[in-house]
Every structure is written in structure tokens, then in C-alpha cells.
Amino acid sequence: MSFSANFMDKHLSSYKKNSSKFFIWGLILMALGLFAVTATTFTTLVTVIVLGFLLLFSGLVILLDTFTFWRDKGHGFSLSLLASVLYIAAGILLISNPVESSISLTFLLGVIYTFLGLARIFFYSMVQLPQWGWSFANGIITFLIGILILMSWPASSLFIIGLFVGIDLFFCGLAYTMVSVAARGKSRR
């Protein structure tokens, strides 16, 4: 018996009990994903601002940790203080300049996708695991996405991040609805 079948059998009653919640949550996420894809500029700016607040909050937590734990620990104090200042500064920059921040983040995203795609292409062409063609094709697609982002940069900066967030939300919601449907299907057997 495979892991997924074994897992589903062990937790089937819980899935059945919550299948309606999964289905509703999935529909909500799919709707949010569709909204995000249709309002990519808005989604990009909100995403950058939320990321800024997360960095700012993280920096404040690290700063608190610096003065409560690292205070008398020499170099650890200095490094922790530097990390907290960098987190706080990055958060403030993202929050105060979301448009300019989206330009930088989109460029970084394009570079990461390009190099990640190249790494996948080279790795899977050298290590040919069973069904390696799918992974190799994934590397090509990742590389092409990176190149497309970089070729359209900076014009793409106000919609790429929002588009990716929207697509992710939609498919996450689709996964929830499919789990709900599968749990309901198993209960009818």
C-alpha cells in the first residue's frame, strides 16, 4: 500500500468530517486567486507591503532577542544587532516604497528562476532518474520563465508578483477542493 493511500485510510474520518470546510476554503482560495490574477498590480503592491511588515516584525523580534539573550555574548551581540537592523531597514524600505521594491524583487525573481532553471536542466540531464524528462522539462520551463521576466523587466514589475501569488492561491484552493471531493468519494464506497 502506498504512503498516500495509507495516510488517507488512517485519516479518512477526519477528512470526511471536514470535507465541507475544505471545499468552502478551497472555493474561497480559488476566488481570491482569480481576483489576484485580475488585479495583479494591486496584488503585487499588497504582497510587497505584507512582506515588508513581516520583515519589520522579524527585525523587531530579533532586536528584542539581541538585548535579552545576546547582550553579554560579544560577537553574537554585534551580529544579532546587525541582522535586526537589516531586517528592520528592509521592511521599512518595502513598506515605504512598494512600487520601487516590486521592481527590485521582480528582477531578483527573474535571476533566481533563470539560475534555478539552468541548475535543474544540468542536474537532470546528468542524473537521469526514472521519468527524468518531466524534471528536465520543468527545468526548461523554469529557465524560460526567468528569461521572460528579465526580458520584460522593469515593465513586468507591477504584475509578475501578483500573477504568481494569484496562480498559487488558485491552485492551492483547487487542491483543497479536490481533497474534499476525494474524501466524499471514499465515503460513498
Neighbouring C-beta atoms of residue 64, cutoff 10 Å? 11
Across residues 133-154, what is the average pLDDT?
A: 88
Cell matching residue 36 = 489576484
- Asked whether the whole model's pTM tops 0.85, one would answer no
What the block records as the C-alpha cell of 173 is 484552493
Look at the chain and report how many structural domains it folds into. 1
Give domain status of residue 55, yes or no.
Answer: no
pLDDT, one tens digit per residue, over 99-128 is: 999 999 999 989 998 999 999 899 888 877
Res 7: pLDDT: 60
Residue 19 domain flag: yes
Between the alpha carbon of residue 112 and those of residues 21, 41, 106, 122, the distances in Å are 36, 21, 10, 15
Residue 176 domain-assigned (yes or no): yes
Helix axes 160-187, 40-68, angle to 10 degrees: 90
Q: What is the pLDDT of residues 34-92, one digit of tens each?
A: 999 999 999 999 999 999 999 999 999 999 999 888 787 777 888 889 999 999 999 99
- Does residue 86 lie in a domain region? no
CB 155 within 8 A of CB 140: no
Peptide bond into 130 cis (omega under 30): no
- Specify if 32 maps to a domain: yes
Q: Is 77 domain-assigned?
A: no
160-187 tens-digit pLDDT: 888 988 888 888 888 888 878 877 766 5
Range of the domain at 177: 3-48+98-187
Give the residue with greater pLDDT, 30 vs 20. Answer: 30
Are residues 163 and 40 in contact, defined by beta-carbon separation less than 8 angstroms? yes
CA distance 12 to 59: 42
Q: Does residue 67 sit within a domain?
A: no
Is 78 within the bounds of a domain? no
Nine-digit cell string for 46: 499588497
